[in-house]
Amino acid sequence: MGTTAVAATRALAQRAAAAGAEWLDAPVSGGTVAAEAAVLTIMAGGSEAAFARALPVLQAMGRRITHVGASGAGQIAKSANQVIVALTIGAVAEALALARAAGADPAKVRDAIRGGFAESRILDLHGGRMVTGDFTPGGRVTTQVKDLRQAEELAQQSGIDLPTLGLSLELFEMLVEQGDGALDHSALYRLFAR
């Protein structure tokens, strides 16, 4: 249920099959809060039979459970999730830093734009962390870097260029270099607000 590179996941699935076992990759999204409330989003990759057998266990942990496809497909969905999360954190961080630099209260700007097209869970949760400066880790910067590196590797293996992903990875790596790797990934705001 961890976030693992697609190639490694598929290799493990082949080893499991060779031993007569079934493999199901089932990474999650939702963070600690969703895990504690058993409302994780779970993205599964593997055979229909493996998914059906594991479904009761997955239902004990998650609310939205999707069988995405064959082995590795769960990890592909998780990579897509992490790209969206990272880029959206970057967008919120830049927008709130712009508000601050231009002379407006970032908390009030955040409140003003919530409910419009910019509304998102990231604007709500991570934007709140940015305006309060509370970067107690939920999803750590170092984990975001690992996940983005895996997504970039998957993009290269898939023959697609994702320049915004590359820039996002560089920004999170800068945060690690500054010594902020153990903070929540919403701490990306610190790069722009200093």
CB 20 within 8 A of CB 44: no
Residue 78 appears among annotated catalytic residues: yes
Per domain, the residue ranges of the chain are: 6-74, 76-193
**Which residues, 6 or more positions from 180, have their beta carbon under 8 angstroms from its beta carbon?**
135, 141, 187, 190
DSSP per-residue string spanning 124-179: HHHHHHHHHT----SSBHHHHHHHHHHHHHHHHHTT---HHHHHHHHHHHHHHHTT
Q: Which fold has domain 6-74?
A: Rossmann fold (3.40.50)
Domain 6-74 matches domain 76-193 at the CATH topology level: no
Note down pLDDT in tens along the chain; length 194 residues.
Answer: 988 999 999 999 999 999 999 999 999 998 888 899 999 999 999 999 999 999 999 999 999 999 999 999 999 999 999 999 999 999 999 999 999 999 999 999 999 999 999 999 999 999 999 999 999 998 899 999 999 999 999 999 999 999 999 999 999 999 999 999 999 999 999 999 87
Catalytic residue among 78, 129, 140, 190: 78
- Which residues lie below 8 Å from residue 48, measured CB to CB, with a gap of 6+? 67
Distance (Å, rounded) from C-alpha 103 to C-alpha 112?
15
Q: What is the pTM of this model?
A: 0.92
Select the CATH number that applies to the domain covering 76-193 from these four: 1.10.1040.10, 1.10.10.10, 3.30.67.10, 1.10.3260.10. Answer: 1.10.1040.10
